[in-house]
Amino acid sequence: MAVTFFQSQTPGSKTKWDLREILESDIQWVTDIDFSAGQLTFKLVEVDEGYTPKNGDVIWFNWDHDHIFKGKVFKVDYDESEVFSVTAYDSLRYFKNQDSLVLPVSTISQRFTRVAKLAGVKHKVVNNSTHKLVAEVADSKSYFDMLKASFKATRLATGHRYFLRDNYGTVELRRAPYKRLTNIIGDQSQLTGFSFTKSIDDAVNVVRVVRTDKKKKQQTSSTAKTKKQTAAQKKAADVANTKLTTVTAAGGSVERWGKLQVVEKAKDKANAAQMKQKAKDILKSKNKQAYTLKLTTMANLNVVAGNEAMVKVKSLKDIGLGSKYLLITKATHTFTGTTDTAEIEMKVRI
């Protein structure tokens, strides 16, 4: 295995540069399921009258004749060692663009297609969704944030997790797991290290849903004289005219973890039953520990975010995490000479 194609071209120029000739470092490639652009980082030696990387340059990278990455340079560092440190992103970077849109009743497939066109990127719906989402106004949000809310609502309604992946210049809508890998990652299968974390840093076990109501102001007689109020009087009047209606849901972990509370705003005119249901829904999703498994392994090109792999590690089995298929949420590949190694993060439920 080796770097079989690694080229750059400045838009508007016919010249293509073979970067293998001036590559000074390993090549690192990152994929992330959590609404993040794919990233390629590498270092190049500065050569007189040679290639100088510029922001906007197109980068193509193939490993062992497989298409890995196509994107554009977004950052170039240069130091006294006369080496360029280059960061390139794939087309998902343009989903960070912000916009204001009215989203009608539609599916995530339709919303993905719409924002991809607005972002100006090639796109494809690989796995379609038929679940209809309620209409909403997305004001001054990134395309990532718009889709994040839609993906979350679809997942709550259907149980299906969707994600975005740039496939060599074409952004695809996929459903996780996209592939279930046949190889096992474990003690006897090229595993070189692991770490397992349990955390309640982001856990919530008390949820208060609050609705803010303004009392109707009394009508003033046309014959009454209106005195000009000071800022303090206006603020006091506003407070006096405000009523808070609160509904609370609490989980059984309060005694064990202590009180971990959040407050959420209710929709206007939401009734007590609707507020209670919202509190229960939030509590259900957040009243739990977060588990993170990180592995380092000899890799192949299918070990990427969105795919699923079998993990079989004796030490993990001893603490309650038996052999099971886990979703890869983030993968960082390092291509060195003829070797592909990866650090991967996986979604764990116990």
Mean pLDDT by 10 residues, the chain (350 residues): 94 95 95 97 91 96 96 97 96 98 97 98 97 95 96 93 97 97 87 93 95 68 62 81 89 95 89 93 92 92 95 88 92 94 90
pLDDT at 329: 96
pLDDT at 176: 96
Helix (H), strand (E) at residue 144 = helix 143-158
Tally of CB atoms within 10 A around 35: 17
Q: Where are the domains of the chain?
A: 3-89, 95-176, 180-200+289-347, 203-215+240-287
pTM: 0.85
Return the CATH architecture of domain 95-176: 3-Layer(bab) Sandwich (3.55)
pLDDT at 232: 87
Fold matches, 95-176 and 180-200+289-347: no
Nearest to 171 by CA among 64, 97, 75: 97
**Both tokens assigned to 242:** 């405000």
The residue with tokens 């929709």 is: 267
Contact 233, 289 (CB under 8 A): no
**Both tokens assigned to 254:** 């309060």
pLDDT at 216: 63
C-alpha dihedral sign at 64, 65, 68, 74: positive
- Rounded CA-CA distance 246/249 in Å is 10
Nearest to 44 by CA among 4, 90, 81, 5: 81
pLDDT at 181: 93
Beta bridge partners of 338: none
Per CATH, the number for 3-89 is 2.40.30
- Rounded CA-CA distance 119/251 in Å is 42
The residue ranges of DSSP E strands in 34-117, in sequence order, are: 39-45, 58-63, 66-78, 83-89, 98-103
Per CATH, the number for 180-200+289-347 is 2.40.30.150
Helix (H), strand (E) at residue 198 = strand 191-199
pLDDT at 225: 54
**Distances 29 to 41, 151, 321 between C-alpha atoms, Å:** 7, 25, 28
